[in-house]
Structure 1
């Protein structure tokens, strides 16, 4: 009864006063640093996301060695005794057209997009540990089968990682205290960019020395082995962790007491659809992911066709921004939690500040690229800065799901990630259309469109974003 009365009174206070009240009202002296169970979870999730993105990027690199566009097309689509120059011999080479290669590379997004909302719902019902671990294990097993799937046909090459991110958010809703969410979640998310960087470097070496099938055999085997560690080391919540200290368990429980338990079978879908704070996150995710995926997929082409870098330089320069992006995630998380802990800003203000920096500054960098003349170095610096600074949204819109609806965080992330995936599918196609006639004008317009979308998404998010738990996300509302 007392908790219900407190939450009712909280609803009557202005948002700025509500933001941090659940934890700031009871400043617990518990501090454990890097030895805490929740920091251990952040490290395990970092490695898991590292593995997931290594599996994801492997195909993007291996397809260069898998295909031979200069060979004549055969009825089977396979040239079994041929190999690409500079790659290990003995592996089959497929006579896939550019269109077919595009379908193969896009197939990941089809499976990834279709499993987002389902993964979020299942993780809320059955637990993030089992859903994430099962998704990573299944992806690893499918990766091992890619060489055989390629022989069967391109339709078998479909990604299935969409359950991983929603399940991660379901776990953090039970583990991350409000004043530590930014750094814990961003340390975990940094595994994505570091995994991408390492895969970009390692996959090419494996293709050259062992042959492209070993990219999938090695990455898939390591992924399967890591899944065993995942199921042994991760626990659904602090109450079920056998080695957590009593002080840390109490600290987490007290800090999260206001948010309620995980959702049941039913979801407040109508209330979600009417929620402006949720729409603010979804639209901002679409806009920022448009810019991110545009750079992710098209930057190597821009460096080759416009800046005239060779293949070796292109690969290194395309990989470098991911180091900056990963470090940016960690630093942004630390700074955001510092501002919250010192009560410099409320939750909503911190989320909007980091979203503004992570969306506006990359847009400025893109707009500047066409006006720097013929300086490849300056263009690379600006594009690298854009991909590095965009990581600051990790402490903004990305974490905001848990702020407004911790009980449904996994499901909501699945929904908003689907918006981002749609942007990832559309953006490269739009760039291709823009540069098909006049490359120089086309690239300038592509950068301008991405910058304009980011500005629109930021304005909408600043206007309608929130940092407090929404009424429809409270446990009392679900009971009623």
Structure 2
């Protein structure tokens, strides 16, 4: 950008844009929870050590003890719990099916959100995903095919909800607050309650919000005055294909999602099989990396905007700094994991650091589309996440295959391969990443439809 963004503040933390970031935070937190809950539950669902009985026997005998012997009841319930004969490869397909669904709707939902507004699309996606989560346990009794189908449709709904967020931030986030606001919103990544809040208090842009203060409205509009706000009539596909800075962002997403998807989907399995932790403790331990990830996301956003507002680093240097930290640090942790399996504490620390440090990318290439092409941010975010989810599909399936061959060497190969993919994405981004608005993304006078 040729002109330096204004540093004038507008209502601070009590402003509507921070309230918007908070609601998006809970919405994203809900969707991430819906996505990873099966990863924890599947440990018990496929536990071959439990005694499996026919489904017709599950209703025999009372579920309550008149004498109050709850411990025996819990044990009896465990033995009656359904156990599904899903191989490691099948589990990999189940985990990756939600990514297939997200890919199907990323580009269409991003394009439609940019034209018609993101509020309705995001709210509908969150509601559908929440409802499908409720029926997933029932679907498992009807077979793995139905589970895969539901997870795919759930992914389509989440794709609708994920992509349109950047359409809203292109209109709500001042340039010097983009890292901060998007990191607050994405640090979680409630369902039906969030839908009520979303449809009630969220608006596509600040100009039409009935409760926004004049000061905050002026702050946002003056910060974005140098960017185009007119609706786009066409998408310069050819120019995008030839744009190396965009490919740098795409490769960053591909690398980032490769390792992150493995951690999201296979972390409970890794804790259970490698550390031999029971499912109750596995659920608790599996939550710690996500807490660290949320904390690092917010911290990274604050640091990035601080460096920009104080002119310590240029915008592109900030983007490349946080991209480097978010790809290099988790790679080092992943490479070290196979060598510390004998140490329970060291393994847990590394597992916590991987998603924590990975989320520093949120202030790097993940929001870089807002810098290089704010007019097409939502559409390009769909493309970017498409690359990332493709990596997630490949990594989930590959992980299931590798650990099915041999657990010890399989996990080692999984982490080594992930580190190599991260390094490829980092080198590519450092070489070709930019932060200036591209010529094809600037405002032009429209001569034809």
Q: TM-score range by the shorter chain?
A: 0.7 to 0.9
- Distance in 1 separating the partners of 2:276 and 2:324: 33
1:456 corresponds to: 424
Give the whole-Å Cα distance in 2 for the aligned partners of 1:284 and 1:428: 18
Say if 2:39 and 2:269, in contact at 8 Å, map to a contact too: no
Which residue of structure 1 aligns with residue 252 of structure 2? 284
Partner of 2:288: 320
| Aligned pairs (5 A) from 1:92-103 | 93=82, 95-98=84-87, 101-103=91-93
- Contact kept? 1:71, 1:95, Cα under 8 Å: no
Change in Cα spacing, 1:476 to 1:63, as seen in structure 2 (3 Å) is: same
- What is the rounded CA distance, in whole Å, between the counterparts of 1:175 and 1:333 in structure 2? 16
Question: 1:157 is paired with a residue of what secondary structure?
Answer: helix
Q: Distance in 2 between matches of 1:231 and 1:446?
A: 42
The change in CA–CA distance for 1:86 and 1:348 in structure 2 (over 3 A counts) is: farther
What residue in structure 2 maps to residue 157 of structure 1? 150
Aligned CA distance change for structure 1 residues 312 and 478 (closer, same or farther; 3 Å): farther
**Residues 327 and 422 in structure 2, CA contact (< 8 A), matched pair in contact too:** yes
Scaled by the length of structure 1, the TM-score of the pair is 0.81
Deviation for aligned residue 1:231? 0.7
User: Which residue in the other structure is 1:129 paired with?
Assistant: 119
Task: Kindly indicate whether residue 143 of structure 2 is the aligned counterpart of residue 119 of structure 1.
Answer: no
Deviation at 1:267, TM superposition (A): 1.3
Q: Give the Å deviation of 1:149.
A: 4.2
| Distance across 2 between alignment mates of 1:478 and 1:359 | 40
Q: For 1:235, which of 203, 207, 210 is the aligned residue?
A: 203
User: Is the aligned partner of 1:36 residue 2:15?
Assistant: yes
Alignment match, 1:60 = 39
Residues 277, 464 of structure 1: 8 Å contact kept: yes
TM-score (norm 2): 0.87
Deviations 1:323-342 (A, max 9, x none): 11000000000000000000
Match of 1:417 among 385, 400, 409: 385
Question: Residues of 1 paired with 2:204 and 2:39: CA distance?
Answer: 33
**Matched residue, 1:173:** 170
Task: Determine the C-alpha separation between the residues in 1 that align with 2:420 and 2:133.
Answer: 38
Corresponding residue for residue 205 of structure 1: none
Asked if 1:308 corresponds to 2:298, the answer is no
Over 3 Å counting, the alpha-carbon distance change for 1:464 and 1:79 in structure 2 is: farther
Match of 1:189 among 186, 190, 198: 186
Alignment partner of 1:297: what SS?
Answer: helix
Q: Give the CA RMSD over aligned residues.
A: 2.8
- 1:224 maps to which residue? 192
Matches within 5 A, 1:325-344: 325-344=293-312
C-alpha displacement at 1:172, in angstroms? 0.3
- Is 1:78–1:95's contact at 8 Å kept on the other side of the alignment? no
Contact 2:249/2:368 (8 A) holds in 1: yes
**3-state SS in 1 of match to 2:276:** coil
d(CA) in 2 for partners of 1:173, 1:473:
13
Note the C-alpha offset of 1:127: 0.7
The 3-state SS of whatever aligns with 2:171 is helix
What SS does the corresponding residue of 1:309 show, helix, strand or coil?
A: coil
Asked whether 1:361 is paired with 2:351, we answer no
Distance, in Å, in 2 between the alignment partners of 1:457 and 1:102 is 24
Alpha carbons of structure 1 residues 381 and 166: separation in structure 2 relative to 1, 3 Å: same
Is 1:382 aligned with 2:382? Answer: no
Residue 245 (1) aligns with residue 213 (2): yes
Does structure 2 retain, via aligned residues, the 8 Å contact 1:277–1:465? Answer: yes
- Structure 1 residues 307 and 408: CA distance shift in structure 2, 3 A: same
Distance 2:30 2:408 in 1: 37
Partner SS, residue 396 of structure 2? helix
Superposed displacement of residue 420, structure 1 = 1.1
Shift of 1:426: 1.3
Aligned length: 428
The correspondence for 1:473, drawn from 441, 445, 449, is: 441
Aligned to 1:50: 29
Task: Structure 2 unaligned segments of length 5 or more: list them.
Answer: 64-72
Q: Any stretches of 5+ residues in structure 1 without a counterpart?
A: 1-9, 11-17, 193-221
- 1:362·1:390 contact (CA, 8 Å) conserved in 2? yes
Structure 1 residues 339 and 78 mapped into 2: Cα distance closer, same or farther (>3 Å)? farther
SS at match of 2:188: helix
Q: What are the superposed Cα offsets for residues 346-386 of structure 1, whole Å, 9 maximum, x if unpaired?
A: 11110000000111111112222334472221122122112
| Secondary structure, counterpart of 2:159 in structure 1 | coil
Q: CA deviation at 1:147?
A: 4.8
1:433 is paired with a residue whose SS is helix
